[in-house]
A and B are shown apart, each in its own frame.
Chain A
């Protein structure tokens, strides 16, 4: 394993693995949010479990936060490294002739997603941490659903969420299948990975938008 961490390919592997980890988390997050559409009680139960289980709170949550920070920092390092490899730019380039816009602008969609995460943390994570670990408020297993729909009353907030999820969809359209390519997947699985990528990149982000819009209309 000597010198692996210093290699350019190590950066690829770490981006791919952290990205796949975040994809797995996204799927789990979506599943829980989706429950809120058809069962208020079940959503409260699952959220209460996630918010109070020691393993989730003190092991998985720090790993997740580390994963998000690691993926973004590594992406930024890669972007800066790559910009250094061509100090004189072309007078004219035609990137659209050979690659998709999103594959060339992952850092841009990544920054939009990170900005959304800041808003998302401000909306949900910080109040939750304050509730539990600052005010030491009493455990209330029925508060989660009401707290969530309260956030989707504002149309501006729903619009911001929706735009962010469109960028997440674009980010996934390249990033998901790209992770498998980076990990050296055999060509015979590529068609399946492409189908899986397209399905995941459309169903999950647009599913999140659907949930936000559903609660927006329910609250009015």
Chain B
């Protein structure tokens, strides 16, 4: 396959970026999108130029590091995959592919396609944990009965990898799907109920402080989420936040 890539290039967070066009030839349809970018970078390096900077780590679809906005969609045109699991067979010979970083004021661009998603870390630090010392005296998991439905929903919420596709896809750059998944994964389980009130209040407050937009229920986040996190979690977050505010 021969392709034309239009990639966002921005030397650093202070400078103004621009789209730069790169032709790439002999791309295998079996390559992942990141392998195709690797191939492009090898050519750029041989020319003595600065390679395209992009985030990546596991390349197995589980770490959430790769964060590209491809042809107008987070992680590209495929469903339920991260960019590293997107394969070039999803494109056609001769295509022009637009590659941009995830855009939100809470995700400032560091360089080229790399954005700073530490705002997610700060939201997690605000309440996405259980304050129980588990070293040496962990209770047997089977000793705490949990309804299968709740266990399944908590597990589904816990599959959120914090990639930020929800924010990137939302027209308002809202982080509600991420925050709701993190709140739900704990609040559905007995271990997490103890701190449920403080957790939801603190995480939503932190989300607001980071400058994410408001959720208007377009549902784009659910569609673009590589882990299929459900909007049901946002409804649960809305419910829990209101109850917690009334309680306090």
A-to-B contact residues, CB < 8 Å: 1-4, 7-9, 11-13, 78, 81-82, 84-95, 97-100, 103-104, 106, 174, 178, 181-187, 190
Contacts and interface: CB of A to CB of B under 8 A. Distances in A.
Given A13-B238, A95-B171, A183-B238, 14 more contacts: A4-B245, A7-B205, A85-B104, A85-B105, A85-B174, A86-B213, A89-B103, A90-B103, A98-B223, A178-B217, A181-B217, A181-B238, A184-B239, A184-B242
Given A8-B214, A98-B223, A1 B246 contact: yes
Interface string B223-248: 11000001110111111111001101
A94 to B, nearest CB: 3
A9 B242 contact: yes
B220 interface: yes
A81 to B, nearest CB: 6
Interface string B81-119: 000000000000000001010011110000000000000
B218 interface: yes
14 contacts: A7-B208, A8-B215, A9-B242, A82-B171, A82-B173, A88-B103, A89-B103, A97-B73, A104-B171, A104-B218, A106-B216, A183-B242, A184-B238, A186-B239
Contact of B235 (A1, A89, A99, A186): A186
A89 B103 CA distance: 7
A81 B214 contact: yes
Nearest to B17: A88
Contacts of A106: 216
B8 A178 contact: no
Contact of A103 (B71, B100, B218): B218
A183 to B, nearest CB: 7
A78 B223 contact: no
A4 B238 CA distance: 12
Contacts of A84: 105, 211, 213
A83 to B, nearest CB: 8
Nearest to B102: A90
Interface in B45-87: 69, 71-73, 77
B240 A184 contact: yes
A78 B216 contact: yes
A214 to B, nearest CB: 35
A178 to B, nearest CB: 4
B172 interface: yes
A5 to B, nearest CB: 10
Contact of B219 (A2, A81, A103, A187): A103
A11 B218 CA distance: 16
Nearest to A11: B214
Most chain B CB within a 10 A radius of its CB, from A82, A95, A100: A82
Given A82-B173, A182-B238, A98 B213 contact: no
A4 B71 CA distance: 39
B71 A94 contact: yes
Nearest to B109: A88
Contacts of A81: 213-214
